[in-house]
Amino acid sequence: MSRDQESQPDTGSPAGWPSNQAPEDSISDRRAAWQARYAESDALAGIEVDENFEPFNQRDDMFARAFWDESIRSDATFAFFKGHQGSGYPRRAAGFTQKDIALRNASWSISDLVSARSASEGKREGFQAPIEVASRVAKTKIEIGDTQAFTHEIKNLAKLFGADLVGITDYDERWIYKSRIDIRGFKDVPHNLPEGMTHVIVMGHSMDHDLVQTYPSALAGAATGREYSHETAIVIQLVSYIRNLGFEAVGSMNDTGLVIPFAVKAGLGEYGRNQMVITPEYGPRVRFSKIFTNLPLKIDIPKRLGITEYCNECTVCADACPPKALPFRAPEAGPVNRSNIRGVRKWTANCEKCFGYWVKIGTDCAICMRVCPFNRPYKGWTDRLFFKLATSRFRGLARLWDKKSGRGERVKPGSWWSRLAAPDFWR
């Protein structure tokens, strides 16, 4: 599934351009301004935007289309979402039993609580609207002093709250969705982001390696749900802290804007063929959240790690994808269908095929994460050595090593449960 939730542009009048864009400016004026402002940092990040670029309209992502688009919406898509509530629809197949589904749905429960609480106002917090916090922005701002030291402080506090990775980048309106969706009818409404956002704090949340090894299964979905629940809590805590310092902060998961370009720009990793940000610390096994703020912070410089070069010669994820939703070709600009962004040259998935597979199996799939050679526990020196080799000119050796190792094989859900019953599971 497209984790950056893209779209083809809606050529109609946008209901809510971000507040720092003048709606009267034509798209070509905005493209020229973006080119002048971001060309240099895009090049550093490996982001290639062309003259057809338009920001994303979230109503075109698969999770929104599943509710309003008759070509996607069906009894099966309804059952897919319904199955993530309560005890779901267990079956006898290993990885889809009542215990597996109970664990997956429990792992989502904190995220679900928060995302559902403003439904009567048309908001699905964290997915189709920012996450709200009780704290208002304090009337007085603290003195920041040394910006570099303060940036370290904020990053370390994010980790104190539970983030695994933190990077800072500029607020970049290209990646902000054209509008927010009101879920009471899936209509476009303005974001109403506060004026003057300058920075984005991007946080990475690592998924449990052993659970990921059991994809595809409902059990593996616990790795995803657990991080959404973690993200929700971490975002709320850090947003509350920033607001209590007297600065604006808006907490976001999948809502409001794409996260992948922000994560790449914040230096957290590099974009891979499997549509994920591949990080040196966890490979592709990371989910991202973001906080829009006007805090004065030092931005991180994007890093070219050598992952693009590896992906250029590897198709392990595309080969393993059951519905063949991932591209085998070189990066291209242009949408595969309306759920892809236009005007960004990159590897692009067929999200309709991907989501169709999720609906068919009744749970999320991340086989393309599991099989990726960069998906490793990174607890021992061999994984670090692999990363070094794979991102060097000796990547051919790394590919051979990975192929022979059996590392990406699926772990049977039953064997995960057997290990869980042992007293030393967490050692």
C-alpha torsion angle, residues 79, 84, 90, 91 (rounded to 10): 60
Per the DSSP assignment, residues forming a β-bridge with 205 are 287
Three-state secondary structure call for residue 379: coil
Smallest separation, CB 284 to ligand SF4 (Å): 6
Q: What three-state secondary structure class fits 181?
A: strand
Q: How far is the CB of 32 from ligand SF4 (least distance, A)?
A: 33
Q: Cβ 115 to ligand SF4, closest distance in Å?
A: 21
Q: Kindly tell me which of 394 and 425 has the beta carbon lying closer to ligand SF4.
A: 394
Q: Judged by CB, which is closer to ligand SF4: 374, or 387?
A: 374
Residue with token string 């007085």: 140
Q: Quote the tokens at residue 143.
A: 């003195």
Q: How far is CA 137 from CA 64, 84, 147, 170, 248, in A?
A: 31, 35, 20, 21, 6
- Smallest gap from Cβ 350 to ligand SF4, in A, equals 8
> Between residues 292 and 358, which has the closer beta carbon with respect to ligand SF4?
358
Write the CA distances from 311 to 53, 276, 328, 331, 373, integer angstroms: 24, 12, 10, 10, 10
Provide, rounded to whole angstroms, the least separation between the CB of residue 62 and ligand SF4.
10
Smallest separation, CB 377 to ligand SF4 (Å) = 16
H-helix segments, 62-136? 62-68, 75-82, 98-107, 109-116
**Contact between 52 and 334 (Cβ < 8 Å):** yes
- Residue 312 or 382 with smaller CB distance to ligand SF4: 312
Token digits for 262? Answer: 């922000």
Residue (289 or 363) nearer to ligand SF4, CB:
363
Q: How far apart are CA 105 and CA 80, in angstroms?
A: 12
Q: How far is the CB of 191 from ligand SF4 (least distance, A)?
A: 28
Q: For ligand SF4, give the closer residue by CB, 328 or 425.
A: 328
The least distance separating ligand SF4 from the CB of residue 287, rounded to whole angstroms, comes to 14
3-state DSSP percent of the chain in helix, strand and coil, to 5? 40, 10, 50
Task: Please list, residue by residue across 136-160, b when 16 or more beta carbons sit within 10 angstroms of its beta carbon and e when fewer do.
Answer: eeeeeeeeeeeeeebbeebbeebee
Q: Which is nearer to ligand SF4, 197 or 212 (by Cβ)? A: 212
Residue 46: left (phi > 0), alpha (psi -120 to 50), or beta? left
Q: How far is the CB of 375 from ligand SF4 (least distance, A)?
A: 8
Smallest distance, ligand SF4 to C-beta of residue 102, A: 23
CB 370 within 8 A of CB 217: no
Nearer to ligand SF4, 187 or 353 (CB): 353
Q: Which is nearer to ligand SF4, 88 or 408 (CB)?
A: 408
Q: Is the dihedral of CA 278, 283, 287, 292 positive or negative?
A: negative
Q: Which is nearer to ligand SF4, 7 or 274 (CB)?
A: 274
- Nearest to residue 79, comparing CAs of 352, 359, 323? 359
Give residues in contact with ligand SF4 (CB under 6 A): 1, 272-274, 310-311, 314-317, 321-323, 325-326, 349, 354, 357, 365-368, 372-374
DSSP string spanning 323-376?
Answer: T--S--S--B-S-SSTTS-SSEEB----HHHHHHHHHHHTS---HHHHS-TT--
